[in-house]
Structure 1
């Protein structure tokens, strides 16, 4: 059984969101999974709220024009639990800005590693980034 536990799922902008993916027993071999951004319940994090290298490196996307992360195809987080271990952390860094805004949610859903499509019953990473002011 695999579970996700929030480590830092409600952070101030400029800090990293972090979740722990845990297995019920040590992995015999490296175990990897991928999480793709899915729409959040409210307007969520945008391409200007994360370091530009993440959308560029994972999806070939630029931060401009600014848009919700869920509107950028191919954005994902990847986690690898090494053989012999029972858990690994997955992290999303965020950027601080000077814009007053409400909490910005973000959601990721575990994907099928072959197709990249979200698994209907897959694990979910969810968090919120709060204004620094």
Structure 2
């Protein structure tokens, strides 16, 4: 029993030590003074994936990296950069995985084609099954 719990205990210990002991960036949790810029930053943050959590946007994640990414977004929006340019910069820096809507390229083509292919295969199987029942 103890041997079975050892990997879980090690995993939980590693997760607890994964957070940085450095203080969070000032803009990680502080809103911009301009409401329009904050709205732009918030909308952009909702479309960006936390690279640590992988299932949350950087707006929802409490991970240190998500806080740093929020601070970067707010800094660039406050400097006057349009959200599309900030998004492009983050994609160049962290890769296409940082966005929930990856652009179509040879690398991401399977993500876009697989659902259509599976739907087509499902329709073919359903068609054959219905033909057998009526015949």
TM-score interval, normalised by the smaller of the two chains: under 0.3
Q: TM-score of the superposition, structure 1-length normalised?
A: 0.21
Q: TM-score of the superposition, structure 2-length normalised?
A: 0.21
More strand by share: 1
More helix by share: 2
**Which of structures 1 and 2 has the larger relative contact order (alpha carbons within 8 angstroms, sep 6+)?**
1
